[in-house]
Amino acid sequence: MGLKLSRTLWVDSATEHSGSGMAATLTVEPAGRCCWDEPVRIAVRGLAPEQPVTLRASLRDEKGARFRAHARYRADAAGHLDLARAPALGGSFAGLEPMGLLWALEPDRPFWRLVKRDVQTPFVVELEVLDGHEPDGGRLLARAEHERHFMSPGVRRVPVRAGRVRATLFLPPGPGPFPGIMDLFGVGGGLMEYRASLLAGKGFAVMALAYYNYDDLPKDMDILHLEYFEEAVNYLLNHPQVKGPGIGLLGISRGGQLCLTMATFLKGITAAVIINGSVANVGGTLCYKDETLPPLSTNSKVRMTTTGRVSSMLMRPLNAYRPMERQSPRSSVTPRLDTVLNPLTSPFSGLPCITSGTVMSSLEESPSLMPWPRWMRGSSSRLFSTNTWVVKQGQSLQNCNFCLIKW
Q: Domain check: are 136 and 172 in the same one?
A: no
DSSP element (H, E) containing 68: strand 66-74
Q: Is 178 helix (H, G, I), strand (E, B) or coil?
A: strand
Question: At which of 274, 301, 331 does a domain end?
Answer: 274
Q: pLDDT by residue (tens digit) across 249-265?
A: 999 999 999 999 999 89
Give the total residue count for the chain. Answer: 407
Q: Domain check: are 39 and 117 in the same one?
A: yes
For residue 232, what pLDDT band results from cuts at 50, 70 and 90?
very high
Question: At which of 245, 274, 303 does a domain end?
Answer: 274
* Average pLDDT estimate for 26-33: 88
φ/ψ of residue 90, rounded to 5: 150, 180
The pLDDT assigned to 364 comes to 28
24-28, 64-68, 132-136, 314-318: the lowest-pLDDT one: 314-318
Beta bridge partners of 387: 401
36-40, 60-64, 293-297: the lowest-pLDDT one: 293-297
Mean pLDDT of the chain: 75
Question: At which of 257, 274, 291 does a domain end?
Answer: 274
The pLDDT assigned to 38 comes to 92
pTM as predicted: 0.71
Q: Domain check: are 229 and 196 in the same one?
A: yes
For residue 329, what pLDDT band results from cuts at 50, 70 and 90?
very low
Note whether residue 77 is domain-resident.
yes
* Average pLDDT estimate for 138-155: 94
Q: Domain check: are 237 and 178 in the same one?
A: yes
Distance, CA of 212 to CA of 218 (rounded, Å): 5
CATH assignment of the domain containing 104: 2.60.40.2240
Q: Helices marked H in 87-209 — which ranges?
A: 100-103, 194-200
Note whether residue 403 is domain-resident.
yes
Percentage of the chain lying above the pLDDT 70 cut? 67
Q: Domain check: are 115 and 171 in the same one?
A: no
Pairing of strands 41-45, 81-82: antiparallel
- Report how many domains make up the chain: 3
Q: Domain check: are 13 and 104 in the same one?
A: yes
Whether residue 96 has pLDDT greater than 70: yes
Q: pLDDT by residue (tens digit) across 112-127?
A: 999 999 999 999 999 9
- Kindly state the greatest CA–CA separation across the chain: 83
For residue 298, what pLDDT band results from cuts at 50, 70 and 90?
low
Domain range spanning residue 256? 157-274
Q: Domain check: are 143 and 11 in the same one?
A: yes
Q: Domain check: are 213 and 176 in the same one?
A: yes
Taking the CA atoms of 317, 321, 325 and 328 in sequence, report the sign of the dihedral they define: negative
The pLDDT assigned to 22 comes to 53
Distance, CA of 369 to CA of 321 (rounded, Å): 11
* Average pLDDT estimate for 329-338: 35
186-200, 296-310, 346-360: the lowest-pLDDT one: 346-360
The pLDDT assigned to 23 comes to 86
Whether residue 353 has pLDDT greater than 60: no
Note whether residue 52 is domain-resident.
yes
